[in-house]
Amino acid sequence: MSVSSRQLNRTLERLESHLRSLFPQEPDSTEWEAFEERLAENFPDLFHNLLDLYGHHFDFYFHLERLLEIMASMYLARPPEWKASDAMREADRSWFQSGRLIGAMAYVDLFAGDLKGLREKIPYLQELGVTYLHLMPIYRSPDGDDDGGYAVSSYRELDPEIGTVDELRELAAELNQFGISLVLDFVFNHTSDEHEWARKAIAGDEVCQDYYLMFDSRKEPDEYESHIRSIFPDEHPGCFTYLNRIRKWVWTTFHTYQWDLNYRNPEVFNAMVEEMLFLANLGIEILRMDAVPFIWKQKGTNCENLPEAHSLIESFNIVARIVAPSMVFKSEAIVAPDEINKYIAPDQCQLSYNPLLMALLWESLATRNARLLRHSMQKRFEIDPACAWVNYVRSHDDIGWGFDDADAWEVGVNPHDHRRFLTAFYVGRHEATFSRGMVFQENPETGDARVCGTTASLCGLDKALDDGDAGEIELSLRRILLLHGIIFTIGGIPLIYLGDEIGMANDHSFVDDLEKEGDSRWLHRPPFDWMKAEQRTDPGTPENTIHLGLLKLTQMRLNNVAIASGETEIVDMANERVFAYFRTAPEQTILCVANFSDQPQRVAATRLRQLGLRKVLVDLVSGQTVLAAKQLDLEPLQFLVLLQHGG
């Protein structure tokens, strides 16, 4: 649908006079000006998006007015310190691209007990250089199984065992004083079945039933299901759950107690905008947009990554830009590589997980070969220069082999067989493995499976320690540092799963916990071991080796402009086992080199010269000097950060 600019102006005028009637005594007028300016600048885009999504509703303008009311009142409620931060971030929109951004993620209860406990751990985070802290969902959720908090019963209340909303506000402010940005989830694809809307829906309230996707018979669910995949096949096949109280099927992409919201209903969009802005006003600087691919459904499609999903995210983004511009979005799209990149744009998600890099790092460790990694990154690492990757080794979720089939064929790899091999390797079904992982959501029909395990366990540290094999211990530590070396230097924000920096192992106790035993992702979500953390200062311990290695990487990011903000170019070292990339800033060039083999490798001198490397290079990791005139000899699993002497 298109509208003329005259019509648009008239709409805007009408909405503005509506606003005036709502807020007759002008709030502090200079403050209000900032809102009005941003509204005038961004409203046309928002209007066009919403017109496409909802223009056919007879009450479209009513919803538009309501949206504006929500935005205005949430703006008025926004605390002054976050308005100040808005002004600051607007003057420096690329703040999240700074090299000082170093991320960490944790479950509050497992890491520190509760929010009070977390405040006491700020010095630990500072020691590591953390400036971005993702706390896993702490909102009110059902007792018992709640998908690790991803089944939200109220976006405005916290799990009482974790703390109160006031404590969260205080924490956000305190973190801010230490230069740490708070990252929380916006779980907006679904609510729990205990959310107020869901409770009303099940009690027969039709308005609330329309907040979800409900069907009276199997007809439509069957039609949809013939085109969609099961996300949690272990839990329930397909995507629907029967509600016998109201005799309806409800859409549940994830667990049966997570009901997908119906974004075809404009009221749902408005309601979720209000929830989002409530979170923004707590002091969230990065909003993790959970499960973005699934928010719009269309019969006859696989109901993932649809154009309307993108328009919706854009619409949320524009609202945030008007009301809370210091907050940026991070996309959680764990889908095919071509689709992941479509969410990354200044007007959608400025940040995105990089699940392709994550999966291919593990792929290269297993195969001791970096050609698929190099090939894929050469094609896909580059994104909009106003955006940034969040690079991680592993998260709270499983590892899926989400590389592109065509990329695999192009380097001579059969993607189907390769995925099977990788799963077998990491779950310990392969004889030559160093890894101790577990399988997640194995689908007997398709043969698909994903992998769970902590970084240390997947890198072979526990196995080596159990075997008392010093050589293998050394190799496993090198694997851990190599993976982190890459995520810290390749460009973007590195994200550490807290516990990985001290080599925490798998936690098998989840099998004895009724709430967790069905979900092997708990294997890699162990309670943080503070005794083990003490050993980070004991020279020679694995904890110490890993921790020091990460501290060194932090210093490297902070002190080298090319690592902090340079451009990335993935290069071919003429050795398949070696992955390498330049980081280039006007004043500095750095070459990072990673040997994925557990054997020594060599890069020929001719290749170094061909890449324009001159004379003397210094490896910032080992401190050694390398002569470009000679070949580059790499130790097993060595990671080097080579700085050209003199610039």
Planar angle of CA 327, 333, 335, nearest 5 degrees: 165
Part in contact with ligand GLC (CB under 6 A); list of ranges 196-204, 377-385, 395-403, 542-550:
395-403
Stretch that binds ligand GLC, among 26-34, 337-345, 391-399, 629-637 (CB under 6 A): 391-399
* Three-state secondary-structure class, residue 389: strand
**Using rule CB under 6 A, residue 519 touches ligand GLC:** no
483 binds ligand GLC (CB under 6 A): no
Please name the amino acid found at residue 499.
Answer: G
**Residues numbered 587-646 forming contacts with ligand GLC, rule: CB under 6 A:** none
Active-site residue identified among 285, 290, 500, 543: 290
Mask for 296-335, x = binds ligand GLC (CB under 6 A): ------------------------------------x-xx
Binder to ligand GLC among 145, 146, 147, 363 (CB under 6 A)?
A: 147
- Is residue 231 a contact point for ligand GLC (CB under 6 A)? yes
Residue from 622, 613, 615 nearest 641 by CA = 622
CA–CA distances in Å: residue 529 to residues 112, 153, 476, 505:
10, 30, 20, 10
Of 242, 323, 237, 309, the C-alpha closest to 279 is 323
What is the rounded CA–CA span in Å between residue 388 and residue 349?
A: 9
Please report the DSSP string for 544-607 in residue order: HHHHHHHHHHHHHHHH-HHHHH-EEEEE--S-TTEEEEEEEETTEEEEEEEE-SSS-EEE-HHH
Kindly tell me which of 397 and 462 has the beta carbon lying closer to ligand GLC: 397
* Choice between 69 and 339, CB closer to ligand GLC: 339
Residue 439 interacts with ligand GLC (CB under 6 A)?
A: no
Output the smallest distance, CB 130 to ligand GLC, in A: 20
Taking phi over 0 as left and psi of -120 to 50 as alpha, with beta for the rest, 434 belongs to: alpha
The helix, strand and coil proportions of the chain, stated in percent and rounded to the nearest 5, come to 45, 15, 40
**259 vs 425, beta carbon nearer ligand GLC:** 259
- Supply the DSSP symbol for 190: E
Q: Is 646 exposed, middle or buried (0-12, 13-18, 19+ CB in 10 A)?
A: exposed
290 is catalytic: yes
Q: Is 105 among the residues that bind ligand GLC (CB under 6 A)? A: no
- Which is nearer to ligand GLC, 75 or 294 (by Cβ)? 294
Query: Which structure tokens are listed for 572?
Result: 């071919």
Least Å from the CB of residue 290 to ligand GLC:
5
Return the number of other C-beta atoms located less than 10 Å from residue 21's C-beta. Answer: 8
Among 145, 274, 397, 576, binds ligand GLC (CB under 6 A): 397
Assess 398 for contact with ligand GLC (CB under 6 A).
yes
Q: Which stretch binds ligand GLC (CB under 6 A): 77-85, 142-150, 545-553, 631-639?
A: 142-150
Window 172-191: residues binding ligand GLC (CB under 6 A): 187
User: 47 vs 150, which CB is nearer to ligand GLC?
Assistant: 150
By beta-carbon proximity to ligand GLC, the closer residue of 395 and 568 is 395
Catalytic residue among 109, 275, 332, 543: 332
Count of residues binding ligand GLC (CB under 6 A)? 15
Q: How far is CA 12 from CA 16, 17, 44, 367, 617, in A?
A: 6, 9, 9, 59, 60
Q: Strand 103-106 and strand 132-135: pairing? A: parallel
Find the shortest distance in angstroms from Cβ 158 to ligand GLC.
17
Q: 191 vs 369, which CB is nearer to ligand GLC?
A: 191
Residue number with CB closer to ligand GLC (150 or 582): 150
In 3D space, the residue among 3, 20, 2 whose CA is nearest the CA of residue 11 turns out to be 3
Our finding on whether 150 is near ligand GLC (CB under 6 A) is yes
The residue number with the shortest CB distance to ligand GLC is: 150
For ligand GLC, which stretch binds (CB under 6 A), given 145-153, 210-218, 379-387, 577-585?
145-153
Crossing angle (nearest 10°) for helices 415-426 and 355-367: 80
User: Residue 609 and residue 628: Cα distance in Å, rounded?
Assistant: 7
Output the CA torsion 124→130→131→134 (10° steps): -90
Interface pick for ligand GLC out of 290, 404, 448, 462 (rule CB under 6 A):
290
Length of the chain: 647
- Closest distance to ligand GLC from the beta carbon of 292 (Å): 8
Check residue 64 for interaction with ligand GLC (CB under 6 A): no
Q: By CB under 6 A, tell whether 291 contacts ligand GLC.
A: yes
Q: Which helix (H) or strand (E) holds 287?
A: strand 286-289
Name the segment binding ligand GLC (CB under 6 A); options: 59-67, 88-96, 277-285, 393-401: 393-401
Catalytic residue IDs: 290, 332
Where does this chain bind ligand GLC (CB under 6 A)? 147-148, 150, 187, 231, 254, 290-291, 332, 334-335, 396-398, 400
